[in-house]
Amino acid sequence: MTLKDSLRMTMRRHAVGIDVGAHVVRIVVLSCSGRKGGPVRIECMASEPLAPGAMAGLEIVDRQAVARTLAAVFGHVPQHCTSQALRCAMAIPGSATFTAHLPAGHVNGQHRRAAVEPIVMMEAERIAGIERHALAVDWYVEDTPPRLGEIAVAATAREHLEARIECAAMADITLTTVDVEPHAALRALRHAATFELELNEPYAAIWIGSDGVYGWRIDGETVAEEIRYPSPEFSCIADALRDLAENNLNVCALVGGEIDLLEGVCFSLADIGDVLGCSVLPFDCSSFSGGNAIPSSDLLHEPSLAVAFGLALRGIAQ
């Protein structure tokens, strides 16, 4: 590597998204140039199977086993990425997270922000049904329609957060961000849409996780509608998707996640297209090269990498 190449690498920001699934750990390492808004480049994609019984639903049962798998999967990260501080992000399942929105107008200036903390904590306790000492809470002010100015509150049991931080630390990994799986997946799907679709074309973004199906109807920069299945309001996944469509014409549906799980509810990608009345594109990282070389990997065409990709995107944006 020449001195010029070395300088280029040190000027790039690097981040890794870590997706701890029910049976496998997946990572995506992204980089971008120092200038804001520059194209991202895939540096590495890797996965390693988890030992049977390491996870039980949302719970990390065997922290040692998860830590060993984290260490193994990080062994695939190129040396030029690890030679500098890596921003590392991990996610918590959506079903372990409780979310709510507070009306706009609570936050205006630093003093008002301090005053809103107790309101946020009260709302977190209410939606989670857990006392605040056992909660991990995050909040921010929405900066896009239709919830512009509203306060988004997210809460989870502290044990879920602490388990992931501890497993990462045991593998000598320092987490800089913890996100929610559906949020990370949506970030990846929206990134994919900028490559796959024309600007401002309406589309549906769908993510299939171990705890269900999440869907969003995107109109321009706005999330116009969102659904989750299973949910008491829907008798089947087709009903949920019909609610998402609401007779609106979507150009396309971008689908990420563990698509094989659809077989468990006797559904398929073709069925998604039939219900929504549009074409369906699985999430595929090979579209994101932006003219840059992408490392050869069987995982390039793997829709299940949406969460890891979305986490890494958040990492390089911070």
What is the pLDDT averaged over residues 185-196? 94
What is the pLDDT averaged over residues 18-37? 87
pLDDT for residue 117: 86
* Run of H or E including 223: strand 222-229
Please give the model's pTM, rounded to 2 decimal places.
Answer: 0.89
Mean pLDDT lowest among 40-54, 144-158, 233-247:
144-158
Q: Contact, 275 vs 226, CB < 8 A? A: no
pLDDT for residue 111 is more than 50 = no
Of the candidates 184, 177, 178, which has an alpha carbon nearest to the alpha carbon of residue 157? 178
Q: What is the dihedral of CA 217, 137, 56, 256, to 10 degrees?
A: 20
If pLDDT is split at 50, 70 and 90, which confidence band does 224 have? confident
CA atoms within 13 A of residue 190's CA, in its CB half-sphere: 20
pLDDT for residue 109: 52
Q: Contact, 37 vs 191, CB < 8 A? A: no
Average pLDDT, the chain: 87
